[in-house]
Structure 1
Amino acid sequence: MIVYKDGSWQPIEETNVSVMDHGFLYGVGLFETFRTYNGIPFLFHDHLKRLRDGLGSVYIEWDHSNEQLYDLVTEALEKNGITDGVIRLNVTAGISNWGLPTETYKAPSLLLFTRPVPEHNPGSKNAVVLNRRRNTPEGDTRLKSHHYLNNLLGKRELGTSQDVEGIFLTEEDYVAEGLVSNIFWIKGDTIYTPSISTGILNGVTRKFILHLCSLLNLDVKEGKFPKEELLEADEVFITNSTQEIIRIAKLDDTVFPAVSSSWLTCLKDLYKQSTEQQLMSYQQVKKVDWKNGKYELISNEADMWTI
């Protein structure tokens, strides 16, 4: 793998971060993971906005433009011989003194990794509720940060299976999120998902799904829900940027039979349409029309660089 770090491209084996980088010493660093479709980074602006908002909250100054980063993504794909890849964009605080600083980090380090999209991407998974509870965010909201021990311990509990997702509950026994996903469920014509107040990550794909639901005029309820309400659902699904939308076939001992024509089927179809239209932001999607027996997504390509 050829990676980018602070102005140069090099094999990953030769890429180093200083032991005095506060991303290493204190976990002051954030990252975004997203996919490219036909070489175009999907929901790119939304990922960058979340990254910039998060960096500001941990006092990291970062001035790369969207255009500069787009060019780096393109170059990373070329150097690694990949068209459709998974990109990890990492910003770490940079070198500072030993101790807890009060000043702003003004020289962060940028790393960009890429790898092929995993060949195995199942349409459905099973899930289990973890004994490990979701920890509370370190700050006001959960960041996609270097503080990942809660997830790592949850993965240890889950084991090695690739087709099972672990579901966190909060300390108060409310449904939170998956190990690497946000969770939704459907009951009738209502979509349910845990609210940000539970301490979950506000996933970019999560926000896009909520946007699609609003265009479909679906009733959406965000809140604090006990596990029992989740188990009474008609359908359950999880989302993330790499795996897109994955149906949950079974959660613990509860089976959720596949429904051939449902709101989940509709959302998956609209998501596929959106990747084919190479959206850079979910805000490009202006409406959903009913045509030829299905919903069709209407986007505005002119908004690609203005959003």
Structure 2
Amino acid sequence: MYLFVNGQVIKEEEAALSPFDHGYMYGVGLFETFRLYEGHPFLLDDHFRRLSKGLASLSIDWKMEKEQVLDALQALSDANGIKNAYVRWNVSAGIGPLGLYTDTYSKPTTIVYMKPIPEEMGTEKTGILLKLRRNSPEGVDRLKSHHYLNNLLAKREIGNDPTREGIFLSEKGYLAEGIVSNLFWIKGDTVYTPDTDTGILNGITRQFILALCKKNQIPFEIGCYSVEALLEADGAFLTNSIQEVVKLTEFDGQAFKKEQPFIEWLQQQYKLFRHSLWSKSEL
């Protein structure tokens, strides 16, 4: 694998990180994961808008123009010889003194990872109610940060089966999100999803799905819901930027209806836009 590290494309074995990088020492860093579809980075503008806002909140002085980002992705795509890819764009604070640092980080570390991915992935999963609760965000909002221990422990709880996804409850007992996904369900003609007030990540694909609902005048509600709301649903699905829209066949041992035309419609809509859209605002 070739990586993009601070402006250069290098082999993975040549990559190095300072032991004083605060992304390693204290978890001060953020990342975005997204896909290339035949070279097109789907919803790139939305991902980098979120990344830039989050980095600013951490006092990490980082900026790249869109043209620079696209050049980096093209160079990395060419080096790895792939056009359909998983991309992780990682920005950490960079080198700092030993101890908690309160000033602005002016020399962050940028690392971009890219690996091949099949254009079509699994479209169904089983939902498992986790015993472990979703931890509260470190700050006001949930950032896509290096603090991933809560997710890792949840993954260990359910194991490595790729057809299973753990569903978190918030610390207050409300439905929250999956280990690596946002959660939606359908009851009647209305789509439901937990509010970010539950401490979930406001996923880019989550935002795209809500924008699709708004554009097509599909009723949706955002709020704080108990487990019963999901158990009584007609159907449910998960979203993230790598796996797209994934239907839940069951939750906590209770099966949903096999026929889910709305979820199938969403999956088709995703395919329609994924080779061309830069932002949900283009809808």
Q: One fold, TM greater than 0.5?
A: yes
Superposition deviation, residue 207 in structure 1: 0.1
- Give the match for residue 108 of structure 1: 108
Q: What TM-score does the superposition give when structure 1 sets the normalisation length?
A: 0.90
One-letter amino acid of the counterpart of residue 205, structure 1: T
- Residues 244-255 of structure 1 correspond to what in structure 2 (within 5 A)? 244-255=244-255
Q: Which sections of structure 1, spanning at least 5 residues, go unmatched? A: 286-307
For the residue of structure 2 that corresponds to 1:222, the secondary structure is strand
Q: What does the per-residue CA deviation read over 1:14-70, in whole Å, with 9 as the maximum and x for residues that have no partner?
A: 211100000011100000000011101000000000000100111100121111011
Cα separation, 2, equivalents of 1:220 and 1:56: 31
One-letter amino acid of the counterpart of residue 55, structure 1: L
Contact 2:37–2:119 (8 Å) recurs in 1 = no
Superposition deviation, residue 127 in structure 1: 1.3
Superposition deviation, residue 259 in structure 1: 1.4
- Give the match for residue 283 of structure 1: 281
For the residue of structure 2 that corresponds to 1:132, the secondary structure is coil
Cα separation, 2, equivalents of 1:208 and 1:227: 24
Q: What does the per-residue CA deviation read over 1:69-109, in whole Å, with 9 as the maximum and x for residues that have no partner?
A: 11111111110010110111000000010111121001001
| 2:19 is the alignment partner of 1:7 | no
Cα separation, 1, equivalents of 2:57 and 2:117: 31
- Give the match for residue 41 of structure 1: 41
Contact 2:94–2:108 (8 Å) recurs in 1 = yes
One-letter amino acid of the counterpart of residue 279, structure 1: L
- Give the match for residue 71 of structure 2: 71
Q: Which sections of structure 2, spanning at least 5 residues, go unmatched? A: none
Cα separation, 2, equivalents of 1:54 and 1:196: 15
One-letter amino acid of the counterpart of residue 249, structure 2: A
One-letter amino acid of the counterpart of residue 281, structure 1: S
- Give the match for residue 304 of structure 1: none
Contact 2:195–2:223 (8 Å) recurs in 1 = yes
- Give the match for residue 296 of structure 1: none
- Residues 185-204 of structure 1 correspond to what in structure 2 (within 5 A)? 185-204=185-204
Cα separation, 2, equivalents of 1:53 and 1:120: 31
Contact 2:61–2:106 (8 Å) recurs in 1 = yes
- Residues 259-298 of structure 1 correspond to what in structure 2 (within 5 A)? 259=259, 262-276=261-275, 278-285=276-283
Superposition deviation, residue 7 in structure 1: 2.1
- Give the match for residue 227 of structure 2: 227
For the residue of structure 2 that corresponds to 1:74, the secondary structure is helix
Identity, % of aligned positions: 47
Q: What TM-score does the superposition give when structure 2 sets the normalisation length?
A: 0.98
- Give the match for residue 21 of structure 1: 21
For the residue of structure 1 that corresponds to 2:96, the secondary structure is coil
- Give the match for residue 289 of structure 1: none
- Give the match for residue 301 of structure 1: none
Cα separation, 1, equivalents of 2:76 and 2:194: 35
| 2:88 is the alignment partner of 1:88 | yes
One-letter amino acid of the counterpart of residue 274, structure 1: F
- Give the match for residue 239 of structure 1: 239
What number of residue pairs does the alignment pair up?
283
For the residue of structure 1 that corresponds to 2:274, the secondary structure is helix
- Residues 139-154 of structure 1 correspond to what in structure 2 (within 5 A)? 139-154=139-154
RMSD: 1.1
One-letter amino acid of the counterpart of residue 176, structure 2: A
One-letter amino acid of the counterpart of residue 155, structure 2: K
For the residue of structure 1 that corresponds to 2:75, the secondary structure is helix
Q: What does the per-residue CA deviation read over 1:232-267, in whole Å, with 9 as the maximum and x for residues that have no partner?
A: 11110000000000000011111012215x222221
Cα separation, 2, equivalents of 1:105 and 1:116: 32
Q: Which consecutive aligned stretches of 4+ in structure 1 deviate over 4 angstroms post-superposition?
A: none
For the residue of structure 1 that corresponds to 2:68, the secondary structure is helix
Cα separation, 2, equivalents of 1:52 and 1:230: 34
Cα separation, 2, equivalents of 1:216 and 1:63: 35
